[in-house]
Chain A
Amino acid sequence: MDNTNIYTALYQENKELLQSLSPDFLVKLREDAMQHFIQKGFPGKKDESYKYTYLEPYFNNGYNKYLSPKNIQFDVNEIFHCDVPKLDTHVILLVNGFYFDAANPLKTLPGDVIVGSFAQAVKEYPELVAKYLGKYTSGDSFVALNTAFSRDGIFLYVPKGKVVEKPIQVINVLISDEELMVQHRNLVILEPNSQARVVVCDHTLSPNKFLTNAVTEVYLGENATFDHFKVQNEHNDSVQVSHTYFYQDKASSLRTSTITLHGGLVRNNLNIKLDGEGAECHAFGLFVTDQAQHVDNSVFVDHAKPNCTSNQLFKGILDDQSNGAFAGRILVDRDSQKTAAYQRNSNILLSDEAKMDSKPQLEIYADDVKCSHGATVGQLDEDALFYLRARGISEREAKLMLMYAFAYEIIDEIKIEPLHVRMADLIERRLRGDLTRCNNCAVNCG
């Protein structure tokens, strides 16, 4: 299979448009990315880093690909129609990868915090964007593709020492009357000693096939703190490849959780580079799959400097014929002494046909390190199940209680209280099989 041509042709067709919309640095980034992509092509079936998820067939001609926002009729109120106590957030809406509030593309929040459209930031703050964009992304073909084509997404800039009090909530909506491919690009810059919290919700609101190839870059300056929470809730005909890069300077602190409630095929690449002493990160993931769904979490933590701590906990609950994968790579450089790196992956298979691949990969070149990793794939604990039933609790309810308990370890890590409550509820509904379209965002969005 070779779908590379589809994208080289698309690039040629739109080259002028892309160039006219991009400052010089971005023109060059796009050009280089495209060259890289052409040279490398899509990861093949045997590619080690994509061995559980073969994506090229989905990057086909079937999806419409727009490089400018296409007008779409929908009811904004419906998106915000939720029924839980309100979490006070700054809400940002992306529709099909484009910033929705065209009249107000960049906002300034208290403390000279800038938040809004990535496309607008490229226009208004080209130097700032140029300084960070693509600086630490990897040579991944999908990322190159995104760099070449992405036009819009979210931009957040928090100046030195500033704290964004309210969480910023990004609602990514896919809604279309045709099959659609979406590639957005998000850039978050946290200057030294700054703090922010971002909640991202991905939803499909129409039954069309969607293909997403999104890239998010987050730069944490010295002593910055970032809390990142992403919930994916897409339908069975959606394909999502998401790449998130966290670059961490000295003593910075990151918490990131990805909860995949629902999705057709999901591949999440999480890259964390601990590039300053004393940095620490906590990465959590949870997915629930059934039917023919597929979720693959691939994590790479790079301990590039001494004295850093990383902690990964990823869990999956798989039913029916669904598939899951986890690949967790930890790299500890030769000079990264006093590293502490932990990784745990646990999965529960609810059916005989569900399948989970778990692959830890530790490359440790320093000698004074604390490292641990463990992976389990199992069933619900029979003893616990019997204990509950022996107290009169039905088998179905007992199983739900145990699944929920298994998931709760991840929910418990959500430190934003209303979000915690909301996610607990959504996970329970998901496990019960009654997640509805009304449950489409993680928090009430007012």
Chain B
Amino acid sequence: MLTIKDLKASINGKEILKGINLQVNPGEVHAIMGPNGSGKSTLASVLTGRDYAEVTHGKVSFLGEDLLDMVPEDRARKGIFLSFQYPVEIPGVSMVNFLKTAINEHRKFKGLPALSASEFLKLMREKKEIVEISSNLTNRAVNEGFSGGEKKKNEIFQMALLEPKLSILDETDSGLDIDALRICANGVNKLKTAENATIVITHYQRLLDYIVPDFVHVLMNGQIVKSGTKELAYELEEKGYDWIKKEVFGTEDAQ
């Protein structure tokens, strides 16, 4: 589904991603772990088309197409979804208008007619249950005045509505209490099928108790330095990232 080959990217001339290789197949859950500043969000940005990071080398293909050539909205319509680490508040844009526009753009792309008002409401009602999001939130402006937990739930709610093929969850666990975390994780699990795939970005193992990964990759200093199964996550939880630094770079201060 997604193939990343030797991907390098810079921000303001500074290389942040230094040659990433990754293969994600339908039905798989991949966790990408790594210390703060290692480039996890930058990777998510490059995959979704945010332009502050400049790709200098490498290839990314998604469902057989060159992903890096596409504008962000086309990537979304083709099935890439990012649950943002910091969902932005957009005063004045109502959740309803936003969601309806997004859904109908996806439908248009698939050659489907726009949803009627009642079809849309029905869909909202259905999907709201997945993340236990209240109408009180969907009646507001996008993310405006939402708590940290509500913002993250809202991301998963949108994921439920848009039914992406590849979801990238960027630190969905950060700033969540255990209940909200469970709700979000359950939502993600309910949406899982044999056809879609998920990349879970986190730097704690905690989330992975709920969203169980098939593969765990450690991103450090712009490179995937170690890959394994979920046991790797436990090992990291126990020993921290330093032992990997030592193992990979032969020193504890790799940066």
Q: Which residues of A approach B to under 8 Å, CB–CB?
A: 381, 383-384, 386-395, 397-398, 401-402, 404-406, 408-409
* B106 and A386 contact, CB distance less than 8 A: no
Among the stretches B5-13, B89-97, B215-223, the one at the interface with A is B89-97
- Nearest B-chain residue to A408, judged by Cβ: B92
Binary A-proximity of B53-80 (CB < 8 A = 1, otherwise 0): 0000000000000000001110111000
Docked Cα-Cα span, A404 to B141, in Å, equals 13
* A389 and B88 contact, CB distance less than 8 A: no
Interface of A is mostly: helix
B-chain residues with CB within 8 Å of residue A386 when the two chains form the complex = 50, 72
Docked Cα-Cα span, A381 to B143, in Å, equals 15
* B88 and A392 contact, CB distance less than 8 A: no
* B73 and A393 contact, CB distance less than 8 A: yes
Name A392's contact: one of B77, B91, B93 (CB within 8 Å): B77
Docked Cα-Cα span, A405 to B140, in Å, equals 13
The verdict on A381 contacting B88 (CB below 8 Å), with A391-B162, A395-B73 known, is: yes
- Nearest A-chain residue to B80, judged by Cβ: A390
B87 an interface residue at 8 Å Cβ cutoff? yes
B101 an interface residue at 8 Å Cβ cutoff? yes
B-chain residues with CB within 8 Å of residue A383 when the two chains form the complex = 88
**Chain A min CB distance to B73 (Å):** 5
9 smallest beta-carbon distances between A and B, as pairs = A405-B92, A392-B76, A391-B102, A389-B72, A383-B88, A408-B92, A392-B105, A405-B93, A392-B77
* A390 and B76 contact, CB distance less than 8 A: yes
Q: Give 7 CB contacts A-B under 8 Å.
A: A381-B90, A386-B72, A392-B162, A393-B73, A394-B105, A401-B98, A409-B92
Docked Cα-Cα span, A411 to B140, in Å, equals 17
A392-B76, A393-B98, A409-B92 are known; give 18 further A-B pairs, CB within 8 A. A384-B93, A387-B84, A387-B88, A387-B90, A387-B142, A389-B49, A389-B71, A389-B76, A390-B49, A390-B81, A390-B82, A391-B98, A392-B105, A394-B73, A394-B105, A398-B73, A401-B101, A405-B93
Docked Cα-Cα span, A247 to B101, in Å, equals 46
* B90 and A393 contact, CB distance less than 8 A: no
Docked Cα-Cα span, A322 to B195, in Å, equals 51
B109 an interface residue at 8 Å Cβ cutoff? yes
* A401 and B97 contact, CB distance less than 8 A: yes
**Chain B min CB distance to A285 (Å):** 17
Give residues 92-117 of B contacting A (CB, 8 Å).
92-93, 97-98, 101-102, 105-106, 109
